A and B are shown apart, each in its own frame.
Chain A
Amino acid sequence: MSRLLAFLGGQLAAFFIQVFQMFCYGVQCVTEMRHLYLYRHQIIEQCYAVGVSSLPLVCLISAFSGMAIAIQTAYQMEEYVPDYMVGALMVRSVILVLSPILLGLVLAGRVGAGVASELGTMKVSEQVDALASMAVDPVGYLMLPRMLAGAIMVPILVIYSFLVAILCGFAMSMIKMAITPTELVKGMKLYFEVYDVFVGLVKSVVYGGLLTFMGSYKGLCTAGGAQGVGRAATAAVVISSALVLILDYFLTHALLY
């Protein structure tokens, strides 16, 4: 029993130490913002890595998820609501939930794991120490540009995802369910609210910053060679994905009610 308590106490202490460390990294990121000009090239580079490089994947998953949601909405609602409601329901689902969460989860895998393994490799091969020894703050040089790139590019990707998912959903509705474009647009116009887009974008800013922060944090705390890099990447994906889903509840609650 005492061993179990000691184990649980140790785990709890380790958890709070990690939370405190994350807080310190966060504070350091904020203080490093005053040197933003110095890191401009890294920010542009990371915007490209997070945003432009993710476009094909985002396009693919948005197209298929848009088509799936169109079929599902029509299947669930066709007997109870007029055709134009399919367009309205589909658009709101895509904007409020589907695109932000789906992209949050997919990019946690693609970007979060990539950042954690890249920085983890730099850590175990002493490149992070080399940066520090050259009077360059590793948090400012490595973490801040990635976080900013996440917070800037993920919302842009989400807007792109809105468009692709809605267009493909409309196309599917017209081809498979024979709903006319006029009906779809009518439904969309009736129930579309700009505030929904704002909610979707706020979520995506938070998820973008979060998954790049978590990837950077896990990468910079890597220890133990190749195995440690693998562990860091896995932890970054798992924690980011879980936090995206948990935060989605709180953000939805806070922004919609």
Chain B
Amino acid sequence: MANETAIEFVEVFKSFEAQPVLKGLDLWVPQSEITTILGPSGCGKSVTLKHVIGIERADMGKVVVAGYDMERIRHSELIALRKRIGVLFQSSALFDSMTVKENVAFGLRMHTRMTEEEIAERVHVCLDAVRLAGTEARMPVELSGGMRKRAALARAIAMEPDFILYDEPTTGLDPNTSSVVGDYILKLQSELNVTSVVVTHDMPLARRVSDRVALLYEGKAVVQGAMEDVEASGNEIFELFVQGRLG
């Protein structure tokens, strides 16, 4: 039996300066599973993620996250919800004026009453989970692309979130590092039992980590379901995407 719904998009429309990006998106993300949103560049994948954290608001339609209607959510509820969500941004988005330790500790310092010793312990655990122990004092600029992604992942899990959103986690990484990032997505999923949403156009990653996939094309989810079902569906657009021929 499928898990309960954690995130739901119902007929969502979103435009930027009269340029439509989402054109009636319907999407369903079950709890405690990894759902991958696939699609060519510019099809609205990252915009979809931003709706989940309430950075973008739908022009029309409904976005429901953890039972909250994002159109009607109160400010205090949105703050509480965001504390339950960890995000790995496409560009890592580490605060470049802070050390790795300060980056990972940021949420803990802002939202918890943990002592400095407890924060240091938690930071160490998170960095150890992504094999970055010992880099606490380094600045983001001193890290390689892969290390920055992992440091950002450590920051995303520091608050022990219920949801982890990955925005293009392997973009700009070499195949080996991409594979390592895939390992961490699976590892964190099994250890933390979170609801994960991975936005990517990296098919090998999607095949490896996904419980479910949805293919976004021209602002809509043209196909969604379990990875094997979608691959067996013979959906023409999905086939073209897999072959790299989707314009």
Smallest CB gap from B106: residue in A: A134
Tell me which of A38, A125, A135, A136 contacts B93 (CB under 8 A).
A125
Report the Cα distance A181→B90, complex, angstroms: 66
Whether A133 sits at the interface, judged by CB under 8 Å, is yes
Residues on B with C-beta less than 8 A from A136 are 106-107, 110
* Closest-CB distance, A135 to chain B (whole angstroms): 4
Residues on B with C-beta less than 8 A from A126 are 89-91, 93
Q: A127-B96, A129-B50, A129-B55 are in contact. Are A134 and B91 (CB under 8 A)?
A: no
CB–CB B93/A129 < 8 A: yes
Residues on B with C-beta less than 8 A from A130 are 87, 89, 93-95
Residues on B with C-beta less than 8 A from A122 are 95
Identify which of residues 74-112 in chain B touch chain A, using a CB-to-CB cut-off of 8 Å. Answer: 79-80, 82-83, 85, 87, 89-91, 93-96, 106-107, 110-111
* Closest-CB distance, A208 to chain B (whole angstroms): 22
CB–CB B95/A135 < 8 A: no
CB–CB B110/A134 < 8 A: yes
Residues on A with C-beta less than 8 A from B82 are 132-135
Whether B185 sits at the interface, judged by CB under 8 Å, is no
* Closest-CB distance, A7 to chain B (whole angstroms): 16
Report the Cα distance A134→B79, complex, angstroms: 8
Tell me which of B95, B106, B110, B159 contacts A38 (CB under 8 A).
B110
CB–CB B111/A135 < 8 A: yes
Smallest CB gap from A135: residue in B: B82
Residues on B with C-beta less than 8 A from A135 are 79-80, 82-83, 107, 110-111
Whether B65 sits at the interface, judged by CB under 8 Å, is no
Report the Cα distance A237→B21, complex, angstroms: 34
Whether B227 sits at the interface, judged by CB under 8 Å, is no
Residues on B with C-beta less than 8 A from A127 are 93-96
Whether B53 sits at the interface, judged by CB under 8 Å, is yes
CB–CB A134/B107 < 8 A: yes
* Closest-CB distance, B10 to chain A (whole angstroms): 23
Residues on A with C-beta less than 8 A from B83 are 134-135
CB–CB B89/A129 < 8 A: yes
* Closest-CB distance, A124 to chain B (whole angstroms): 9
CB-based closest 7 A-B pairs: A135-B82, A130-B93, A126-B93, A133-B87, A126-B89, A135-B79, A133-B53
Listed by A's residue number, 30 A-B pairs whose Cβ atoms lie within 8 Å are A38-B110, A125-B93, A126-B89, A126-B90, A127-B93, A127-B94, A127-B95, A127-B96, A129-B50, A129-B55, A129-B93, A130-B89, A130-B93, A130-B94, A130-B95, A132-B53, A132-B55, A132-B82, A133-B53, A133-B55, A133-B87, A133-B89, A134-B83, A134-B106, A134-B107, A135-B79, A135-B80, A135-B110, A135-B111, A136-B107
The interface of chain B, by Cβ under 8 A from chain A, is 50, 53, 55, 79-80, 82-83, 85, 87, 89-91, 93-96, 106-107, 110-111, 159
Contacts A129-B50, A129-B93, A134-B82 known; 9 new A-B pairs at CB < 8 A:
A125-B93, A127-B95, A132-B55, A133-B87, A134-B83, A134-B87, A135-B79, A135-B107, A136-B107
